[in-house]
Amino acid sequence: MTDRIRLDVDQLVIGRRDPDAGHFPDIDLTHHHPDDPHLSRRHARVLRRAGGWIVEDLSGNAATWLNDRAHLLDREVATLSHGDRILVSDSVVLRFDAGTLPP
């Protein structure tokens, strides 16, 4: 399944919805893999920074990976480049496409 998410705000939280706990992420991955134990309610976020975008791990003990090689630790950030792949669980991959970003 492929969804496009436009980055028209300064930050987007990626995660799993949990209405009972009041968690409603901007990029809700619940429908992609509802029982994935490696997907946190607040797993990561994408933020606009001067000159570009970064991804920040928010999950603590659930892994966020960048391009299959860079394992981000809790609150660690990495600069995003066009074509980067953000892995937020064993089954969900997001691809950063700088060609569709707003000015």
CATH of the domain at 68: 2.60.200.20
Least confident range from 60-64, 84-88, 97-101: namely 97-101
Q: Tell whether 5 is covered by a domain.
A: no
pLDDT attached to residue 24? 94
Q: Tell whether 42 is covered by a domain.
A: yes
Alpha carbons 8 and 86: distance in angstroms, whole number: 19
Range of the domain at 30: 11-98
pLDDT, tens only, 35-70: 777 788 888 999 999 888 999 999 877 778 889 777
Q: Tell whether 36 is covered by a domain.
A: yes
pLDDT attached to residue 88? 82
Q: Tell whether 103 is covered by a domain.
A: no
pLDDT attached to residue 79? 92
**CB-based burial of residue 43 (10 Å sphere; 0-12 exposed, 13-18 middle, 19+ buried)?**
buried
| Domain count across the chain | 1
Q: How confident is the model at residue 7 (pLDDT cuts 50, 70, 90)?
A: confident
Q: Tell whether 6 is covered by a domain.
A: no
Q: Tell whether 91 is covered by a domain.
A: yes
